[in-house]
Structure 1
C-alpha cells in the first residue's frame, strides 16, 4: 500500500485527517472533523475500524463516539457520555465492547458498556483509585491495558498499577495492584512475551518485570534503564510519555521497544528536539535478563506525547507517526530502518503545530 490515512487528536475542537504517501514521502492534512473540546486521545474499536472513540480532556470530562469513512471523515458525534471526572487523558475499547476511560485529575475512571458499540450505557459506576502514598498525594491514572481477564491501570500519582477484574454483577472493581518504585510515576505500560514493560514518567525510566500472580503476587524487576538521551540541554527536565512494542513481522522480526522522551522545561529545547529511544529486551529467562539501549533518534519535536505505528495488514508497520504537545514542529512520519534498530524521518507537515494522539485507518 502506498497511501495511508491517519487520524490525529489534540487540544482543539477537531480531529485532523492526514494522508501519508509513502512513494512521494508527502504528508498532507485533508480535513478537520469537528468534535467536542480537546479530543486528546483517540481509540478505534478493536474489530470495527469505522468506529472511533475520543476523549474530551476537560474539567468535566467526556467520551464521544464517531463513525469514520474510509477517507478519514468523522460523522457528527453519535453519542457522548461523562467520563466521571476531570481531564480524561486516555480511553480505549475493550474486547468486550466496553470503553474504558481514566481521569488524570479525577483520580478515577469508568468502564462503560456500549450498545452496538456506538451508544454508551451511562449507568456504569465510577471507579475511584485509592490514595496509598500518603494524604499529601493524589491519584493520576493515565492508561488502560486489557490483559487476559484483567484491566491494568498505571497510576503515576500512586506509583502502582491497579488490577481490575469484572465481578459477578458485571461491574469492574480493583482486586489488587503491582507496586512500582516510589516517585517513579508509572505512566504507560506494554506486555510482550509474558513480561510487563513500564514507562515511568517522573523518573524517565523503562523497566521490565514479571507479571505477578493476581491479585497481589510478588513482582520481580529484571532491569530498569534510563531513557534520557546523553548530553541533555542545561536545565532540561525530562518526563517519559509513550511506549510501543510493535508485533514482530517478517520485515521486522525482532520486537524492539520504542519510548518517547519529553523535555518539559521551558526555554531549554534545542533544534534537535526530543528523542525516541529504542531498546532491546535481551536474555529473557536468564540471570542477565535486561534492557539494552539500541539508539536515540532525535525528532525535532517538542514533548512527544503521542506516537503510533501503522497497521501490519496494509504494510503500514514500517512507519511511525509522531508529534509534540508543545512547540510548532507539526507532525512527522518516520520509517523503521536496520530492521527496526533505527528510525529516519521521511515526511513532515507543519499545518497544525501540535498533536497528541494518532490512529491509522
Structure 2
C-alpha cells in the first residue's frame, strides 16, 4: 500500500486544519552539504514552512545533535577528510555559533551525546574509528583533554568483501547508547554492530559484536523502548533485522523470521549506487512502529515509464512482542534521496528532506499506530539537507 501526496507549488498550504485547534509553531535546525545551518519555522495552524535565519556552518555539517541537558547547546561535525567535531550554541537572536571544535581524524558521519553529559563520541566513517571528546560545564568541547580514537579491525582484510566498492575498510556509521553506557556501533564496512564498553573516563574497548548477514552493510539502529531489542537498518541490502540484547554471548546473530525488505513494490533490486536505505526511527510514544527511509529510486527510474518524483518512507508495524513485522506501508514523498528524517518530540510531525531535490516536507502522523501520514507543509527552495533537530 502506497500513500502519495498531491503535488502543489512550493510554500502553499497543504492540509486544512480545524479552526478549533490552537495555533502551534515548531522550529527546526537543518544542516547538510551546504554553507549554512538554517533555522526553519513550521506553523501547524496554516501549514506554512519557511526559513527564519541562516548561520554560517562548518563544511559538510551533515549531522546535528541536541544536548539533552544543556539548553541551546548542540553538536555537529564536518564530514571532511580531516574531520571535525563541533559544539554550537544559539546566540539568542535566532542564530547558531560555533563554540568549539576538535579534529576527529577521518570523515565523521555521526555524533552521539552521552547520556551522562560527560562528552560526545564521533563516528569516523572514513577513518574506521570512534573518538571521545569531553564536554566542559558550559557545553563546549574541552580544548585541553587528549583523545585517542578506537580503531576497528577490518574483517575482510586479505579477501574480497561482499560489496567491494562499499566495503573496502571499516565504516562505522552511527553510535547508539544503551543501558549502563554500552555503545552499539553499526559498521557498514564490516557487516557488524560493535558492542563497546567504557573504560575509565575516556577509554573504550570492544566487548563483542552482533553479526549481520554478509553484504548487508548496517547503517543505523534503534533500541526498543524496553531495552530488549536492537533494530538495525542495512544500507546495502535495504533490510531491517533485529537482535536480542538480553544475551551477552558474542558473536550474536539476528533473530530468525524477521528480516524484511523496506523497498517499495516495483523498486529496482538493490545494487551499489542505486537503492540505499538511510534513516531508521521509532515513534517516541506509540509502541510497535518503525519508520525507514528509502533512497535512490528517483535516479534508478529516471527516463523510464515508471519514473517517480520522490522516494518512499516505509512504515513498519510490529507484533506485540516486537519480534515480527506484521505489515509494511509505503508513503510516497516528493523528496529525492531522503537522508534527513526526524520526528518532533511530541510525536505529531515528521520532517524529511531530499538531499538531491524536492526540498523539505513536514508530515502529520495520525492513526492509532502512527501509520497514517498526511502532508502538512512543503518548501522546495531548501536544498541539500541531510539532518534536522527540532528545537
Q: Provide the rounded CA distance (Å) in 1 between the counterparts of 2:291 and 2:300.
A: 26
Query: Residue 48 of structure 1: which of 70, 74, 90 is its match?
Result: 70
Maintained 8 Å contact 1:145/1:189: yes
Q: Provide the rounded CA distance (Å) in 2 between the counterparts of 1:203 and 1:35.
A: 33
Maintained 8 Å contact 2:338/2:353: yes
Structure having greater relative contact order (Cα 8 Å, sep ≥ 6) = 2
Maintained 8 Å contact 1:262/1:303: yes
1:132 aligns with 2:165: no
After TM superposition, the score normalised by the length of structure 2 is 0.84
Are the structure 2 counterparts of residues 293 and 64 from structure 1 closer, same or farther at C-alpha, using a change threshold of 3 Å? same
Are the structure 2 counterparts of residues 309 and 70 from structure 1 closer, same or farther at C-alpha, using a change threshold of 3 Å? farther
Q: Give 1:16 deviation, angstroms.
A: 0.8
Q: Provide the rounded CA distance (Å) in 2 between the counterparts of 1:71 and 1:271.
A: 40
Q: Provide the rounded CA distance (Å) in 2 between the counterparts of 1:215 and 1:64.
A: 36
Maintained 8 Å contact 2:243/2:254: yes
Instruction: Name stretches of at least 5 consecutive residues in structure 2 with no aligned partner.
Output: 1-22, 161-167
Q: Provide the rounded CA distance (Å) in 2 between the counterparts of 1:18 and 1:207.
A: 34
After TM superposition, the score normalised by the length of structure 1 is 0.90
Q: Give 1:209 deviation, angstroms.
A: 2.2
Maintained 8 Å contact 1:6/1:72: no
Could you tell me which residue of structure 2 aligns to residue 330 of structure 1? 359
RMSD: 2.1
Instruction: Name stretches of at least 5 consecutive residues in structure 1 with no aligned partner.
Output: none
Q: Give 1:71 deviation, angstroms.
A: 6.4
1:303 aligns with 2:324: no
Q: Give 1:211 deviation, angstroms.
A: 1.4
Query: Residue 221 of structure 2: which of 184, 189, 196 is its match?
Result: 189
Q: Give 1:95 deviation, angstroms.
A: 1.2
Maintained 8 Å contact 1:89/1:102: yes
Could you tell me which residue of structure 2 aligns to residue 244 of structure 1? 281
Q: Provide the rounded CA distance (Å) in 2 between the counterparts of 1:244 and 1:4.
A: 20
SS in 2 for 1:241: coil
Could you tell me which residue of structure 2 aligns to residue 221 of structure 1? 255
Could you tell me which residue of structure 2 aligns to residue 280 of structure 1? 317
